[in-house]
Each structure stands twice: as C-alpha cells, then as structure tokens.
Amino acid sequence: MGRRRRLKQNIPLMVMFIPVIAYFVLFKYVPLLGNVIAFKNYNFTDGLWESPWVGLQNFQLLFTDPLAISTIRNTFFISLLSIVVGFPFPILLALMFNEIRRLWFKKTVQTLLYLPHFLSWVIIGGLVINLFALESGTINHIIQYFGIEAYPFLYKAMSWISVFLGAGIWKEAGFGAIIYLAALSSIDPGLYEAASLDGAGKFRQMWHVTLPGIRSVIVIVLILSMGRIMDVGFDQVYNLQNSIVSNVSEVISTYIYRVGLQGGQFSLTAAMGLFEAVIAFVLVFTTNWIARKFNQGLW
C-alpha cells in the first residue's frame, strides 16, 4: 500500500519527466543505430540497411591513412592541453569570486566573465582574428608601434595553439565557475571561523577548507571532461584554423566535416566517430575507476 501511495504521489513528476525521456530516446539513443554505417559501404541508393556489409574494412582504411592518424593525434593533443591548461581556471575564478566582499563589484565582474559564453564562435573567432591577424591585427599594431616586427600568431603552430587555448578559456571559464560557486555556498562558514581562530590565513583556508569542500564536484567535472577529451568541438576549430596550420589544427570534428559531408565518405567518417565514442567511453570509466579508489567516484 505504501509503494502504491508513493507511486500516485509521484505521478505528476513522472509526467513532467516524459519530455526528457522522449528527448534522450529520439535524439540520443535512436541515432546510435546509425553506427552500423561504420561497418558498411554506405550509399544513398541502397540506404542504411541495404548497403553492402564490409566489416572492419573502414577501420583498416582509417588507421592506415596518414591524415586520419594525424587528425586523431591532433585531437588528443589539443584536448589534453585544454583540460590541463583550462580545467583549473573556473576553480580559480570561483575562489576569487568567493573572496570578493563588495557585491556590486562581484556582480559586475561575474557578468563580464559570463558574457563570452553566450556569444557564438563566429563572433569570438572574428574578435580573435582581428586581434591577432598579421597585417591588420590590433596586437601586431601595438608591437609595431614599439618598433618590433609583426609576428604571425595565427600562422605558427605553437602560437596558434596558444591562441586557441586562450580563446577557449576566455569564452568558457567564467560560465564554468558557476558550478563551483554553487558548491562553495554549501561549505559551513563555521569551518572558516575555526581555521581563522587556529591562525590560518586566506590561502591556508582555501587549501584546507575551500578546496576539500568542493573536491567531489571537481572530481565529477573532471570525469565528465574526460568524456569529451576526443571532442575538441567543430565551431572553435573551424573559425580559427587556416590551411597553413592544418597540420596541427585538423581535428576529428573538422575531418568528419571535410571527408564525410564534403567528400561523401560517410562510412569512413562514421568509423572515425565510433572510434571517438569508444575512446571517450573508456576514458570516462577509467577516470571514474581511479576516482573510486579515493571514494570520489561518479557511480
């Protein structure tokens, strides 16, 4: 009787959850059937199910293609750099926001740092190119004003990667700090008072109270970030890359666009996409397995 009563009480919540279930089923699970293209020689005439079966041939072609191997290497390298360099920034911003006592200043800074998240990469890419362009870029104009030769920031591999990472941090770090600010609000203020009475300064309070208080959230975000380590994102790369640095800027998302959509090799790029998903799956489970050793796993 108690179970039936709880079921009746939760019926409104279950009805509200139906659109969420429908969204994931239609747009997340049903499209998984399309992965069968990776094992076929897909063509529009025969369709999804009638196209000839080729087994692992597309994967063999993929891993013997120098361009595909270079693309996978670039994707992993850029993604790993993005996590190593960019992951701490939202945490640092949240810690700084937490220490600001003037409310008007805090709200102003937060708004300015959240704003780039809501701009498309078309706009952000245009701003970055206007800043770092060789001949018309603002940065090079300032450099030349001091008698220094203009530097091709967007046409050198290492400087392009630096600009790419910096643009990504500027766009997303402020918005990414929101989840850590929410976690900080749950820390008991009495812990800071106790630490202060023990003689701990601000930095020791952050190290011994603040960071342990949000450790579980940091681990969860890290695990989810590992799932995207092979997904650099199409918009950012496409709007910032150029043919001169294609040897470091070509990633899986742009490879699928050029080879799959523009080149019509749907089966080959489907194999690439499936490979990307499997690597992400393995990384998420591996990261969670390591986190569980410290009692911080996501599941």
Spatial neighbors of 148 by CB under 8 A, at least 6 apart, are none
Spatial neighbors of 134 by CB under 8 A, at least 6 apart, are 140, 150, 151, 152, 153, 154, 155
What would the two tokens of residue 93 be?
């911003």
For residue 105, CA distances in Å to 30, 111, 172 come to: 47, 10, 20
More confident residue, 28 or 299: 28
Question: Cα(193)–Cα(196) distance, rounded to whole angstroms?
Answer: 5
For residue 253, CA distances in Å to 106, 144, 224, 261, 270 come to: 37, 36, 19, 11, 11
Q: What is the maximal distance between C-alpha atoms in the chain?
A: 84
Residue 63 near residue 69, CB atoms below 8 Å: yes
- pLDDT at residue 115 above 60? yes
Work out the mean pLDDT of the chain and round it to a whole number: 87
Chain centre to alpha carbon of residue 213: 24
**3-class SS letters over 135-172:** CCCHHHHHHHHCCCCCCCHHHCHHHHHHHHHHHHHHHH
- pLDDT at residue 159 above 90? yes
Angle at 237 between CA 180 and CA 39, to 5 degrees: 100
State residue 169's pLDDT score.
92
> Which amino acid is it at 151?
Y
Q: What is the pLDDT of residues 208-217, one digit of tens each?
A: 888 888 888 8
Q: What is the pLDDT of residues 202-253, one digit of tens each?
A: 888 888 888 888 888 888 888 888 877 777 888 899 999 888 998 899 999 9
- pLDDT at residue 121 above 60? yes
- pLDDT at residue 3 above 80? no
Q: What is the pLDDT of residues 17-54, one digit of tens each?
A: 899 999 999 998 888 888 899 999 988 888 888 889 99
